[in-house]
Structure 1
């Protein structure tokens, strides 16, 4: 998908890549993690990840200490204000510690099965919301936040809350074009958040 936003995504891509480069120098994620980024890594081969859960798809499954994020290997249950999950129509799925990891998974999963459901924590309430109906504010300034995994999009169930957030957020100049829907998540937006793990 090609989005022309007056160079805004090019700036985001650059910031994402710069952030990714800095993050490579730091072993693992905040609070722990695994240095191994998985199969397919290397200069010539893009990374892919497999679904890691059995998932019925009709509603979120419970987060447990046995689940690990397929993107960063962190434990989603440890991040209740950030975590999320995806279910595929074939009964598989994955759980994530952050929406940034969810974005990356959607782009690099090996699953050919369509998404049957997705949920992620609302930025204001921490409640799991339907990610397929959510609104994501694409923040890019890593220096202005203290997120798990450096930086994450801000998830809102209600578009008006997303607009109110970006109007109050003064760390960078955001507009309503910086709010995306689930079906607009692509490699370029995912690389803003997890370019070093894709």
Structure 2
């Protein structure tokens, strides 16, 4: 059976159903509740749990079974960037980048103090004591080719971080853009992983 324009009515019905479905789906993407009258928790901050056992006295080996709790990538695949954190309770986490380590420190569910932390030195690639490292807070994503878009630069010695600043001309940074481990906070972590926090 054809309608007034000569097209089959079945096609019209199909298009009508598809159109209604698209409208309903679009409305759901724009917000609102989940249909039960309660918010789905979109505004609640994300948290992550420690993901590995860690003795805390020295770094553990990176393995293919470890996944970063922030981005789910495999830290063993990124030796020039990876790091790890150990808590006093014997738990910890491994990360593919310093940016993910920063985010973890801010959003971890662990209330156990950090017993140790290690990160790859930006210049040497060696695993260094992250709690003693200096971090250059670069922010220009267009000037770098990092994994996960952008990461702070980790250095074993503050003098190396200052030397990096003197050579780095992609953006204007000063020694105020160098921080220590105990200065890592939510604002700093959001520079690197705000979309995952």
* TM-score class normalised by the smaller sequence: 0.7 to 0.9
The aligned residue for residue 72 of structure 2 is 73
Deviations 1:13-50 (A, max 9, x none): xxxxxxxxxxxxxxxxxxxxxxxxxxxx9532100000
For 2:44 and 2:82, how far apart are their aligned partners in 1? 28
Q: Quick one: distance in 1 between partners of 2:134 and 2:81?
A: 15
1:98 aligns with 2:97: yes
- How big is each residue's C-alpha offset from its partner over 1:60-92, in whole Å with a ceiling of 9 and x where there is no partner? 000000000000000000000000000000000
Q: How far apart are the structure 2 equivalents of 1:42 and 1:69?
A: 23
Cα 1:192–1:42 change in 2 (3 A) is farther
Q: Which residue of 2 aligns with 1:149?
A: 148
Unaligned 5+ residue runs, structure 2?
A: 1-39
**What is the match of residue 26 of structure 1?**
none
User: Residue 56 of structure 1 aligns with which residue?
Assistant: 55
CA RMSD of aligned residues (A): 0.9
Q: Which residue of 2 aligns with 1:128?
A: 127
Structure 1 position 135, deviation (Å): 0.1
**Does residue 89 of structure 1 match 2:92?**
no
SS of structure 2 residue aligned to 1:95: strand
Larger Rg belongs to: 2
Instruction: Give the 4+ runs in structure 1 shifted more than 3 A.
Output: none
Residue 195 of structure 2 is matched in structure 1 by 196
Q: SS of 2:131's equivalent?
A: helix
Q: Distance in 2 between matches of 1:44 and 1:52?
A: 24
Residue 73 to residue 160, structure 1, CA distance change in 2 (3 Å): same
Count of paired positions: 158
Task: Give me the whole-angstrom Cα distance separating, in 2, the residues matched to 1:100 and 1:89.
Answer: 22
Shift in Å at residue 156 of structure 1?
0.1
Q: Which has the higher contact order (CA 8 A, sep 6+)?
A: 1
2:128, 2:157 → 1: CA distance? 10
Deviations 1:147-184 (A, max 9, x none): 00000000000110000001110000000000000000
CA offsets, 1:109-137, max 9 Å, x none? 00000000000000000000000000000
